[in-house]
Amino acid sequence: MTKQEILSLLKAKLGTGFIAHTEPIPDQLWVEVKPQASVQAVELLHRTTKARYLVSVGSDERELKKRFGVYHLFSFDKEHFFVTIDVSADPHKPVLPSITNVLAGANWSEREIRDLLGVQFEGHPDPRRLVLADDWPNEVYPLRRDFDYSSKPPSNPENAYPFKDNPPNTTVVAMGPYFPVFEEATYFRLYVEGEKVVDVDYRGFYAHRGIEKLGDASLTYNQIPFIAERICGICGFVHNVSFCKLVEHAAGIKVPRRADYIRTIMLELERIHSHALWLGVAGHIIGFDTVLMQTWRMREPIMWLCEKLTGNRKTYGMNLIGGVRRDITKAQVPEVRKKIDAMDKEWQAVLDAVKDDTTLRMRLEKVGILNREQSHEWAAVGPVARAADIDMDSRKDHPYCAYDAVDFKVITADTNDVWGRTVVRILETIESFKIVRQCLDALMELPEGDIITEIRDEIPAGRIAISAVEAPRGEDVHFLLTGGDNRPYRWRVRCPTYPNLPTVQVMVKGEQVADVPIILGSIDPCFSCTERMEVADVNTGKIRVYSQEELANWTTKRS
């Protein structure tokens, strides 16, 4: 479908609910609708045109336009553009109809907007707190612009998280908040009957860092790439590129070609080491430590290579708006090629070993099913969607950096299970080796040195941009509304785990307890990217040691 067709469809079906449309930048269609028409607009895009839902962004625009803005972002992958449904909420009584009933994937976005901005969604099926810590008072909305980023509201210990009730004849098995196979804090409450998982409840967002608030309130455009990189410890460079691309997009800055290739190389190196890491962790989860040890050994030379190229093993600090800070010189190219070739060879051996391992297949096949329809409904991204036979990859769909110039395949599988996700990741890594080699060839031809565009003018206010960058785990979406003071007005990060994590609740129902960790592992969860909101409560620094009696008493009281 073209933009015109979508526009006429929306106009025809929404009638008076349609207000206006603009095309702020070439790959975007911005449609303003009235609140009562928003549900229908979303339904049209999601069900009729099969557009892929990205995320909803809430923004406090009371100073600008006397309203709260809520943007529902959609992507037309094969047509290479984004459509945004823009809904306004009354600044004094912000209530909007909920779209979660027609689009399950919007569940978290709406709860988050409610928590942080105070926009209520009528008819939401699960109106519990999502992002804010349990002890935060009600009626405090930290992402509103009149909330100072350093303020600390009084604790309200009465607020407890209301978990779902036990279904009949079930017991609770807690996985988390701290659990051996989950690298970070997250809590899955399993309701089990024997070994079978009947129902599951989730509570996450334990580690709030307030990065978006810092971006809106304190940091400048050139500082944010470095904090954006710290959103995630593994796909940091992706966030970094996402943000730079966003500002470049909004302000129309042209990046030198050599910088594009360097960014592409770093992005692919990141994918290679991330997939190697994932395969190891997945092996560890199902007790196959040999895989863990071997893939991590193979990953190490790549990390050394990154250190040689950028000065850091991870968190490279390579990007600035307009380009990169370090060149990959022609003298360095042969070494990169050597390391890549060596890893390629070893990776083929891994592929052969994994492919023929019957025990491994017994554990991974037909486990954690998420089919094509469910994947679309929950807006899953990355290997999770690709294993459900959805051909989506933002490297192809919304080309950025040098991906328009390199040749690679989008790997898909149609098994819908954990095994499919494993295969997709392993084969994808082989494509990454190919991409790096092509970029190296290009670097040999381009002149050295021209790696950054100098920016003299101020970035104009009121511009809008969306960027989608394919992280190892899936698509990473950043949204930007530029503001004055050399900083964003609203910057929204939607990491790949954010849409993938709710799908785990779909996948584990009816499975066995033993499969839950690997199902969760199969989405390659990154809780640190997901839990990226809010100003953390700084603890008092007091240390106290509990005696055995106290601990015992405490356990008895709680249980």
Whichever of 285 and 390 has its CB closer to another protein, that residue is 285
State yes or no: residue 426 binds another protein (CB under 8 A): no
State yes or no: residue 172 binds another protein (CB under 8 A): yes
Which listed range, 142-150, 176-184, 332-340, 450-458, lies at the site for another protein (CB under 8 A)?
176-184
Give the whole-angstrom CA distance, residue 142 versus residue 186.
Answer: 22
Instruction: Indicate the SS3 state at residue 347.
Output: helix
Query: Contacting another protein (CB under 8 A), which of 95, 362, 444, 536?
Result: 362
Whichever of 235 and 507 has its CB closer to another protein, that residue is 507
Residue 439 near residue 272 (C-beta atoms within 8 A):
no
Token representation of residue 99:
């779209």
Positive or negative CA dihedral for 376, 377, 383, 388?
A: negative
State yes or no: residue 540 binds another protein (CB under 8 A): no
Which listed range, 236-244, 325-333, 399-407, 548-556, lies at the site for another protein (CB under 8 A)?
548-556
Residue 503 near residue 519 (C-beta atoms within 8 A):
no
Give the whole-angstrom CA distance, residue 234 versus residue 313.
Answer: 11
**Cβ at position 176, least distance to another protein in Å:** 11
Number of neighbouring beta carbons within 10 Å of residue 158: 8
Query: Contacting another protein (CB under 8 A), which of 288, 316, 403, 433?
Result: 288
State yes or no: residue 552 binds another protein (CB under 8 A): yes
Please state the φ and ψ torsions of residue 461, each to the nearest 5 degrees: -85, 160
Give the whole-angstrom CA distance, residue 267 versus residue 276.
Answer: 14
| DSSP strands (E only) in 130-279 | 171-175, 187-193, 196-203
State yes or no: residue 174 binds another protein (CB under 8 A): yes
**Cβ at position 549, least distance to another protein in Å:** 10
State yes or no: residue 281 binds another protein (CB under 8 A): no
Residue 99 near residue 119 (C-beta atoms within 8 A):
no
**Cβ at position 418, least distance to another protein in Å:** 12
Whichever of 303 and 513 has its CB closer to another protein, that residue is 513
Whichever of 161 and 178 has its CB closer to another protein, that residue is 178
287 residue type, one letter: G
Query: Contacting another protein (CB under 8 A), which of 19, 25, 333, 513?
Result: 513
**Torsion angle (degrees, nearest 10) of CA 95, 99, 101, 107:** -90
State yes or no: residue 514 binds another protein (CB under 8 A): yes
Instruction: Indicate the SS3 state at residue 332.
Output: coil
Give the whole-angstrom CA distance, residue 507 versus residue 59.
Answer: 32
Whichever of 195 and 448 has its CB closer to another protein, that residue is 195
Distances (CA, A) of 247 to 63, 252, 347: 22, 8, 37
Positive or negative CA dihedral for 370, 372, 378, 384?
A: positive
Which listed range, 123-131, 326-334, 513-521, 530-538, lies at the site for another protein (CB under 8 A)?
513-521
**Cβ at position 367, least distance to another protein in Å:** 9
Query: Contacting another protein (CB under 8 A), which of 157, 168, 180, 447?
Result: 180
Query: Contacting another protein (CB under 8 A), which of 334, 352, 512, 536?
Result: 512
State yes or no: residue 517 binds another protein (CB under 8 A): yes
Whichever of 539 and 559 has its CB closer to another protein, that residue is 559
* Residue at token pair 């990953």: 299
State yes or no: residue 181 binds another protein (CB under 8 A): yes
Helical residues (DSSP H) of 317-467, grouped into ranges: 333-355, 358-364, 372-377, 382-386, 394-397, 418-445
State yes or no: residue 173 binds another protein (CB under 8 A): yes
Q: Which of 278, 324, 472, 499 has its CA nearest to residue 394?
A: 472
**Cβ at position 555, least distance to another protein in Å:** 6
**Cβ at position 180, least distance to another protein in Å:** 6
**Cβ at position 421, least distance to another protein in Å:** 16
Number of neighbouring beta carbons within 10 Å of residue 380: 31
Token representation of residue 417:
């299970």
**Cβ at position 294, least distance to another protein in Å:** 6
Give the whole-angstrom CA distance, residue 337 versus residue 512.
Answer: 44
Give the whole-angstrom CA distance, residue 264 versus residue 414.
Answer: 28
Whichever of 282 and 309 has its CB closer to another protein, that residue is 282
**Cβ at position 173, least distance to another protein in Å:** 5
Give the whole-angstrom CA distance, residue 370 versus residue 200.
Answer: 16
Query: Contacting another protein (CB under 8 A), which of 195, 365, 414, 537?
Result: 195
Which listed range, 151-159, 284-292, 327-335, 478-486, lies at the site for another protein (CB under 8 A)?
284-292
Strand pairing of 187-193 and 474-482? Answer: unpaired
Which listed range, 129-137, 143-151, 189-197, 304-312, lies at the site for another protein (CB under 8 A)?
189-197
Whichever of 171 and 220 has its CB closer to another protein, that residue is 171
**Cβ at position 174, least distance to another protein in Å:** 7
Q: How many residues bind another protein (CB under 8 A)?
A: 39
CA 396 to chain centre: 18
Whichever of 496 and 521 has its CB closer to another protein, that residue is 521
State yes or no: residue 419 binds another protein (CB under 8 A): no
State yes or no: residue 226 binds another protein (CB under 8 A): no
Sequence-ordered list of residues with C-beta below 8 angstroms from that of 25, at least 6 positions apart, any chain: 249, 250, 464, 465
State yes or no: residue 551 binds another protein (CB under 8 A): yes
State yes or no: residue 26 binds another protein (CB under 8 A): no
Residue 252 near residue 463 (C-beta atoms within 8 A):
no
Sequence-ordered list of residues with C-beta below 8 angstroms from that of 132, at least 6 positions apart, any chain: 115, 116, 142, 205, 534
Binding residues vs another protein (CB under 8 A): 171-175, 179-181, 192, 194-195, 283-290, 293-294, 297, 359-360, 362-363, 512-518, 548, 551-552, 555-556, 559
